[in-house]
Amino acid sequence: MALLSLLRVPSASASPPPYSHRRPTAAGTLLVRRAPLVGALWVLSLGAFTTLCCRTGCSHSIPFLRSKLFNQPSGRTLHSTAMASASITVPSIVVYVTVPNKEAGKKLSESIIKEKLAACVNRVPGIESVYWWDGKVQSDAEELLIIKTRESLLDALTEHVKANHEYDLPEVIALPIKGGNEKYLEWIKNSTRDV
């Protein structure tokens, strides 16, 4: 009954000002139209709740919501999705390499792709690197290369970067890809050379 009082709509004879969501009732008091607010809060809380459960991998904590509302099997978690991706593809990595300028980034990224050492290289211009070198703090504008490849190609990629880079000590840092779009991960495998 309390919910019905929240959803009560005032009479049509009283027209609200265009800028207000409140309108006077026959008794002269203000009645707040709560239905949109209640609905919005419910949707937001549902979204936050399911996001939290999905993020923590607790699919069993809300099996009804995940299986009925989102049409997903209740036993499948983000972890099992990552494991399924890994089983049909090869282990993949993301590698960071910094270069001094746009021209060096273009030249190095194209040579990496031509040698099939990576499926894709994203070039991120305009980064500022602050680092320790020659006993003092240095700062330089650089371009960041984000390279997607097979884990098994890391050694060959590292050697290629070292042989074709302008720096004496080029950055080559690899991070594992734990899961993702299965078709994209398969594309990484198919777009790179076998070891």
Q: What is the DSSP code (8-state) at residue 59?
A: G
Each residue of 92-102: pLDDT tens digit?
A: 999 999 999 99
Q: pTM of whole model > 0.85?
A: no
| Mean pLDDT, rounded, of the chain | 74
pLDDT on residue 26: 53
CA 49 to chain CA mean position, Å: 19
The dihedral built from the CA positions of residue 149, 155, 158 and 160, taken in this order, carries a sign that is negative
Q: How much of the chain exceeds pLDDT 70, in percent?
A: 55
Give the residue extent of every domain in the chain.
Answer: 33-76, 88-190
Identify which has the larger pLDDT, 173 or 16: 173
Return d(Cα 126, Cα 105) in angstroms, integer: 12
Question: Taking 50 as the threshold, does the pLDDT of residue 56 lie above it?
Answer: no
Each residue of 105-149: pLDDT tens digit?
A: 999 999 999 999 999 999 999 999 999 999 999 999 999 999 999
Return d(Cα 153, Cα 116) in angstroms, integer: 9
pLDDT on residue 87: 54
For the domain spanning 88-190, the CATH number is 3.30.70.120
SS3 187: helix
